[in-house]
Structure formats: C-alpha cells, structure tokens
Amino acid sequence: MNRSKATLIAICTLLGLGAAGAHAQKLPPPFVGTAAKSAICTRQNLIQLGAAVEGFARLCLTPGAATGIVQASNLTAGDAYTVWFVYIDHPEQCAMPNQCADVDFGGDNPVGVFGRFDSSVAPVNGRLRFSGSVSGFQPSNGSQIWLLIYDHGAADYSDGRHLARQLLTPEDPAAGAPNLGNIVDGPGFTPAGIAVFVQE
C-alpha cells in the first residue's frame, strides 16, 4: 500500500466517525448587504490527522460562492502548509459509500475533486490563518466539503522551485505527476488536520 493510499484511508476512517458525529455550529454571516441575508455559515473544530494541530474552520455558503477560513495553531514553525478545498458531490457513490478513498479521486470522472485553497509558512508562534473562496460554486444536497491541511516540512528557501511546489501543489505524485507531485521529490506531504462540512 503506497503512502497516498494509506493516508486517504486513514483520513476517510476518521471522517466516517467524525462526519457522522459532527454538529455544525450555525454562525451569523460575516457579510453585509444582500449577501448577508442568504449566507449560511458553519464552524467545525479541526480533526487532528497524525499531528497536534488545533483550531477550527469556518465555511460560508452564498448562492454561487463558498468562502472559508481555517484558524490553526500548534503548527511547526518554519514548515510550509497548504489547505485544500475538497468537494465530494455524492459521497454515497464512493467505492466505500460515505468513506471516500484515493480511488474516488482518480479516473475520468471522479466522485471527489480538490483544489488549493491557501498556503503559508508557519511563523515562530505556530499559528496561521488561512482563507480562500470559490466563486460560482454550488454544492449539492448531501455533498461534503473538506478543508484539509497538509504539512510539507521545512520550507526550502534554498530552492525557489522546490518552495513553490511546497506551497502550490499537494506534492503527491499519485495525484498526478508532475504537476501535482514531482516524481523526483516523491510524496512530500503529511496530513495535519481537517474540517468536514456536510451539506443538508
């Protein structure tokens, strides 16, 4: 079993437990005007994925947009981190229903899709606030949105190209070499934390 497969299975096992028992906290929207009237905001605590990361994520949905933040602490100072916006339209269609794994993110028409949400290098205090948005987005009922944090190790300031890969890609060759992960580097990510939002 390769590293990416083991990682996704571990994540999905946690999600199978975490998503079912998660209680989304409804929050007032951080918008003004017309958008505020139609925004639905929820907050979820971060689930640790093999790291001591702590914090929460907040996701706000308006007609045609998703906006979110991840407030994380206890990160490793000097490490590069990325946050990924993961969307699963119909989790029940995954190979293991409602416990999606690597196979569900591959192929010609994957059940799950993902894109980079934000990235940064952790400061000395180990705290970061990530934020991002996806315009034109409309989730289906029953879908899942994950905000997933990857730790890419010490930021490589000696090699600008490698640093860019740390901050702009998942560094997972299995997800799609060379643009999503460099074969020469090999896997360069460690899952740190995740927040799961189930759309009702």
pLDDT for res 32: 45
What domains are defined for the chain? 3-198 (2.60.40)
Dihedral sign (CA 104, 108, 112, 118): positive
C-beta separation of 87 from 139 below 8 A: yes
Dihedral sign (CA 90, 93, 99, 105): negative
3-state secondary structure of 3: helix
DSSP assignment, residue 104?
A: G
Q: Which pTM does this prediction carry? A: 0.83
pLDDT for res 9: 43
* Helical H segments across 103-172, by residue range: 160-168
Name the amino acid, one letter, at 93. Q
Per-residue pLDDT tens digits of the chain, which is 200 residues long: 444 444 444 455 445 434 433 445 555 444 444 455 578 999 999 999 988 999 999 999 998 899 999 999 999 999 999 999 999 999 999 989 888 877 888 888 899 999 999 999 999 999 999 999 999 999 999 999 999 999 999 999 999 999 999 999 999 998 888 889 988 889 999 999 999 999 98
Q: Copy the structure tokens of residue 185.
A: 């580097």
